[in-house]
Amino acid sequence: MRVVLQRVLSASVTIEKQVKSSIDNGVMILLGIEEADSQDDIEWLCRKIANMRIFPDEEGVMNRSLLDVEGEALVVSQFTLHASTKKGNRPSYIQAAKPDIAIPLYEAFVAEMQTHLDSEIKTGEFGADMQVSLVNDGPVTILIDTKNKE
């Protein structure tokens, strides 16, 4: 499981010219799922995201977590995070999980994130053509892969 975690001042997902979800201060989570991912990966990753100290304290030092700032989260599925670019110029997505595996894991991820935060987890729509807008704060962008836990 891979995520691109971005600290944002605001973010939204639009589908067919309609805003589906939007947040203010918090994190945009672009989530890539592969077939080998499990509930253990979900639990580890959600705990890591909720507690990662990427928000500034009073001195401007990144010392506060999403929980500390009572921030919001917007989760968007993104199979392209598992793109292989080793051969040629056309990425291969063979490592990305197929929908029958990815959808339940995506839903489990959203549910697990909800257990960590007091605010409702906002989402995109799995498999939809989405337009994602955000104002990256900092900018702070962090890559996390559950295959690199240790």
Q: pTM for the full model?
A: 0.94
Cβ atoms of residues 16 and 145 within 8 Å: no
Q: How many domains does the chain have?
A: 1
Q: Give the three-class secondary structure for 44.
A: helix
Q: Which of 14, 80, 85, 115 does the annotation list as catalytic?
A: 80
Say if 149 falls within a structural domain.
Answer: no
Q: At residue 67, what is the residue type?
A: L
Q: Provide the pairing of β-strand 18-23 with 26-32.
A: unpaired
Say if 31 falls within a structural domain.
Answer: yes
Q: What is the pLDDT of residue 3?
A: 97
Give the pair of three-digit tokens for residue 11: 């973010």
Q: Can 80 be counted among the known catalytic residues?
A: yes
Say if 148 falls within a structural domain.
Answer: no
Cβ atoms of residues 132 and 8 within 8 Å: no
CATH number at residue 90: 3.50.80.10
Residues lower than pLDDT 50 in the chain: none
Domain residue limits at 136: 2-142
Say if 135 falls within a structural domain.
Answer: yes
